[in-house]
Amino acid sequence: MSNWDEQVDVLVVGSGAGGMLAALTAASGGAKALVIEKEKLWGGTSATSGAGIWIPGSDVARAAGFEDNLDDAFTYVRGLSAANVPDENIRAYVENAAPMLRWLMGNTTIQYMAFPYPDYHAENPGGSPTGFRTHMPLPLDGKPLGKDVETLRFASPAASLFGYLNWHFDETYLLLYKQKGWFPHLIKSLARYWLDLPFRLKSRKDRRLTLGNALAGGLRLALNARGVPLWLETALVELVRENGRITGVVARRQGKTIRIGASKGVILAAGGFDKNQAMRDSHAPLYPTALYSGGTSGNTGDAIRAGQALGAGTMNMQSAWAAPVFYIPGEDRGRLCTIERALPGCIMVNQQGERYLNEAASYHVTGQKMAARQREHGDASPSWMVFDAAYRRKFPMGPVYPGWPDALLGPRVRSILKKGRTIAELAGKIGADPAKLAATLQRFNIHAVNGEDPDYHRGEAAYDKMYGDPAQVPNPCLRPLTEAPFYALPIYPGDIGTNGGLTTNAKAQVLDGGGQPIAGLYAIGNSAASAMGESYPGAGVTIGPALTFGYIAARELTGTNA
């Protein structure tokens, strides 16, 4: 028996949503659980995200009038996922996702709403063009977290206003399209934030928790209520195996090496290797740049490497949750571009000034096409989001807010925003061929007048239309770019995390190179190879499986129906 500095039943490595839910489920099943997090902040990439979860057949969707079919959901994911992903892993997710959500909502203060968010490939067999598989969390009051709220990761700049004001998904539409009451709502929200005294004097954190902050905050509240500790600045060094079984870990806590025993097992939930440039160079040449990843700084593949050191198998290590990203000089990660590409009055072009994709497609498909274009032609990193003055006045483009004069934008944003009085002048500033950019815009504009895009079919799919401007007819995604001055912002093929990792089975058990479970070792989230393979079926297929397989793993470890 090893000499442990700390002994628990279930040890979870990583404080993202999947890891915290696993620890909570284990504790509810009677186990003594502990979460360790190597960073100074908790919540992982989950806390910075939109926290959408893709859950087929949920009670919430049924209450909203959507009757789902789990066989359809399986068919849909199976048709998109990689061939090397076993049927039973996909089936385990599809069948356990709704029970997980029911348990989550029944055992925490977190509440989710089913959203009419179409599946990304809704036209495929089993897809849902009406949505209601994607679920979004409702806002939570973060004040009961006490001091813990100060170490919760901030939302991504792409998922907050001005980089500090948390907002709910519905508020996006209210502000984006300046719907009735938008300005009083904005003033009220800003007043609520700035008048949160005396807390505002010591922290920039918004204690109205939304999106990823709501999910992470609600899970932390539940952990605190059950007395489950979460240790910050505690990094996994290696796994301990005794008599063929994982019995604990060696960790580094605040500069000191410690040994933590886990009598029932260890759940690896420490994210992928987004920020490990050496691992990216080895495994993900299509998505080579760690700096452009939207993942958080702690995602350096520690859990994956620890498993590999003990003979664990890996799968689809070349894969990532692809995405187009804006990169602001000096920031430590890319900013996901979700909505802007579908709005009327903009196009994306390569470095010659030519379109090469449907800008309004899902961010995963767009990121994949950008990366493939870069590999084949070397002219897509960066590409350029080109927009006219009418767009500039009405909509955001990444860090460029409408109604905010160019001169008052931050110096780092001004350094990358290009502006021209004419198309030819803009082409010169972005290094494009003026004739090609002019021809591209001329062709686009001719068809956009009629709401058509014969080249790339933008605005035809249900997903495209969801982010379009409902006031723009006949196609909410298309409007000619005609009003000077013209603008361009660089956009890169990036990702929001890697999704290849340790090979697992339907119980989330880590498998060795021969396909046999390593006793006492589980992996979830981006530490495990995703059941989605290299696909992205719908909003929430990152966190949805992380939560679901965390739930499955904890129930398996504790042997209970927690």
Digit-coded pLDDT (tens) for 537-550: 999 999 999 999 99
pLDDT of residue 165: 79
Q: What residues contact 559, with CB distance under 8 A and at least 6 apart?
A: 29
Give the residue carrying structure tokens 């915290």: 20
User: Does residue 209 surpass a pLDDT of 70?
Assistant: yes
pLDDT of 65 higher than 60: yes
Tens digits of residue pLDDT in 331-342: 989 999 999 999
246 touches 518 (CB < 8 A):
yes
Q: Does 220 have pLDDT greater than 70? A: yes
pLDDT for the residue numbered 561: 62
Instruction: Provide the pLDDT confidence category of residue 177 given band limits of 50, 70 and 90.
Output: low
Which residues, in sequence order, are CB contacts of 121 under 8 Å at separation 6+? 76, 80, 127, 362, 537
Hey, what are 295's tokens?
């993942």
- Check residue 153 and give its pLDDT: 93
Residue with tokens 């907002």: 167
Confidence bin at 309 (pLDDT 50/70/90): very high
What CA–CA distance (Å, rounded) separates 300 from 322? 17
What is the pLDDT averaged over residues 132-142? 95
Mean pLDDT value across the chain: 94
Residue 76 is predicted with a pLDDT of: 98
What's the rounded mean pLDDT across residues 433-447? 98
The pair of three-digit structure tokens given for residue 311, joined into one six-digit string: 């003979």
Cα separation of 54 and 362, whole Å? 15
Contacts made by residues 417-421, CB under 8 angstroms, sequence distance 24+? 417/487, 417/488, 417/489, 418/384, 418/487, 418/488, 418/489, 419/485, 419/486, 419/487, 419/488, 420/485, 420/486, 420/487, 421/484, 421/485, 421/486
pLDDT beyond 70 at 23: yes
> What is the pLDDT at residue 1?
52
Most confident of 87-96, 196-205, 466-475: 87-96
Q: How many CB atoms lie within 10 A of CB 158?
A: 23
Query: Could you give phi then psi for residue 285, rounded to 5 degrees?
Result: -65, -20
Nearest residue to 366 (alpha-carbon basis) of 305, 405, 430, 321: 321
Q: Which domains does the chain have, with CATH numbers?
A: 52-226 (3.50.50.60), 230-322+496-558 (3.50.50.60), 324-495 (3.90.700.10)
Least confident window among 173-177, 286-290, 502-506: 173-177
